[in-house]
């Protein structure tokens, strides 16, 4: 009998029993407890701990409000206490800690309060990294399916991190296909500085999990979302859906490029960049051009029917002042690169339309130095 991953939901709201039930319908075992009812056995077997941020109803805690060292003010403080207990740290240097890979997620209805002043897109990652958490989730937005996938992914983390030169278990966790573009994908993973040696080994793989959640899935790295995958092929996302939803030659070419590894259900469909590039290369073999519109034309011919194309030579994507991706790409010659806070250097650059530089003051400050003069020149034309 296979043991299901266990999710421990800590929240002072008794109504969260309903969310624990939703979790239990997603292939995991889930239990809701009030903060005062926490048990060591439950914590020890948890793959994922979900903690409410603003814990208002905790009578036993409130008795210690004048003893600052004992007063657990909020969910972030509680997460630190539980992490220390789980890893067996302290109370003296003679105690040898034994790190566990249990994931901790702050689950709150007030993420905007906790991350006030932080652009909405990077808020979950910024809060999580700042407070030694794997993720910070908005209660009304993060689904039970997504959180259950995190518990399952955590339970399947590799146990051996001793050989970064040949990370077989890590690549298996990612479910990297045995495709002709596999070596390209591995090279792209390595460019993203994966913590698959010392940091992962000394954290039982938790640093690997945090890296993948906070630095890979949200950004265009060796994995890309539908909008970028479609743009590399010169198509609109709707065209990508048309292809994948049918039985055709292009759908078969794309099937191996879809990411199906751990956390594939966490934040929407992702694609292996190397796989999409390989499809692009195959399309160009029957084309006389090298631009996205040439790729789109070839793919439409292979697909056998008309597809919605972008009509751009080299499409790039803008972000808004909350760092959210603007759906419609624009021509690279009409944009400048940005360098926002907390954006990985190994991810694709976000862009800003040169026509918007004078309007988007907060983003204009983020223009890459090399592009500042060129952007000003374009606006003067």
Whether residues 281 and 363 share a domain: the answer is: no
pLDDT per residue as tens digits for the range 70-105: 999 999 999 999 999 999 888 878 788 888 999 999
- In whole angstroms, what is the distance from residue 281 CA to residue 295 CA? 8
CB 354 within 8 A of CB 375: yes
Q: Which two tokens stand for residue 67?
A: 């003893």
Whether residues 39 and 140 share a domain: the answer is: yes
Q: Residue 378: pLDDT above 80?
A: no
pLDDT per residue as tens digits for the range 217-275: 999 999 999 999 999 999 999 988 888 877 778 888 898 999 999 999 999 999 999 99
| SS3 annotation, 128-171 | HHHCCCCEEEECCCCCHHHHHHHHHHHHCCCCCCCCCCCCHHHH
In a domain, 137, yes or no: yes
- Model pTM? 0.92
Residue 200: its pLDDT value, please? 81
- In whole angstroms, what is the distance from residue 20 CA to residue 7 CA? 8
Whether residues 49 and 150 share a domain: the answer is: yes
**CATH label of the domain that carries residue 66:** 3.40.50.2300
CB 208 within 8 A of CB 194: yes
pLDDT per residue as tens digits for the range 120-158: 999 999 999 999 999 999 999 999 999 999 999 999 999
In a domain, 234, yes or no: yes
Whether residues 56 and 28 share a domain: the answer is: yes
pLDDT per residue as tens digits for the range 47-78: 999 999 999 999 999 999 999 989 999 999 99
Averaged pLDDT of the chain: 91
Whether residues 100 and 227 share a domain: the answer is: no
pLDDT per residue as tens digits for the range 303-349: 878 888 898 889 999 999 999 999 999 999 999 999 999 999 999 99
Q: Which helix (H) or strand (E) holds 105?
A: strand 103-108
Q: The domain containing residue 320 runs over which residues?
A: 315-380
* pLDDT band at 286; cut points 50, 70, 90: low
- In whole angstroms, what is the distance from residue 45 CA to residue 7 CA? 9
- In whole angstroms, what is the distance from residue 178 CA to residue 234 CA? 26
Q: How far is CA 373 from CA 75, 156, 267, 359, 365, in A?
A: 47, 49, 37, 17, 13
Q: Residue 118: pLDDT above 60?
A: yes
Q: Residue 374: pLDDT above 70?
A: no
Q: What radius of gyration do the chain's Cα atoms show?
A: 23
**At 106, phi and psi to the nearest 5?**
-80, 120
Residue 302: its pLDDT value, please? 80
Whether residues 211 and 227 share a domain: the answer is: no
């Amino acid at each position: 009998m296979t043991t299901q991953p266990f999710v421990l939901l800590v929240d002072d709201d008794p109504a969260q029993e309903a969310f624990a039930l939703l979790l239990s319908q997603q292939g995991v075992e889930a239990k809701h407890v009030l903060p005062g009812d926490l048990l060591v056995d439950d914590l020890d077997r948890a793959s994922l701990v979900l903690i409410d941020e603003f814990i208002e109803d905790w009578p036993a805690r409130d008795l210690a409000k004048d003893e600052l060292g004992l007063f657990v003010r909020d969910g972030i403080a509680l997460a630190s206490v539980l992490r220390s207990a789980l890893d067996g740290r302290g109370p003296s240097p003679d105690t040898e800690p034994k790190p566990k890979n249990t994931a901790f997620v702050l689950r709150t209805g007030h993420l905007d309060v906790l991350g006030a002043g932080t652009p909405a897109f990077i808020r979950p990652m910024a809060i999580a990294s700042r407070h030694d958490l794997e993720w910070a989730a908005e209660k009304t937005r993060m689904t039970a399916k997504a959180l259950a996938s995190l518990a399952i992914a955590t339970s399947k983390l590799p146990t051996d991190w001793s050989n970064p030169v040949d990370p077989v278990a890590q690549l298996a966790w990612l479910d990297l296909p045995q495709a002709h573009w596999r070596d390209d994908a591995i090279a792209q993973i390595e460019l993203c500085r994966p913590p698959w040696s010392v940091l992962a080994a000394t954290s039982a793989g938790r640093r690997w999990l945090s890296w993948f959640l906070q630095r890979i899935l949200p950004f265009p790295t060796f994995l890309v979302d539908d909008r970028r995958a479609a743009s590399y092929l010169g198509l609109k996302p709707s065209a990508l859906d048309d292809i994948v939803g049918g039985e055709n030659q292009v759908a078969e070419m794309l099937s191996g490029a879809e990411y199906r590894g751990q956390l594939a259900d966490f934040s929407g469909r992702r694609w292996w960049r190397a796989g999409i590039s390989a499809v692009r290369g195959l399309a160009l073999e029957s084309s006389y051009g090298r631009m996205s519109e040439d790729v789109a034309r070839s793919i439409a011919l292979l697909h056998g029917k008309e597809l919605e194309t972008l009509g751009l030579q080299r499409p790039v994507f803008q972000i808004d002042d909350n760092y959210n991706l603007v759906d419609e790409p624009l021509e690279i010659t009409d944009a400048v690169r940005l360098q926002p806070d907390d954006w990985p250097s190994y991810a694709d650059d976000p862009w800003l339309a040169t026509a918007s530089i004078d309007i988007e003051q907060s983003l204009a400050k983020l223009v890459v130095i090399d592009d500042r003069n060129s952007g000003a020149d374009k606006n003067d034309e």
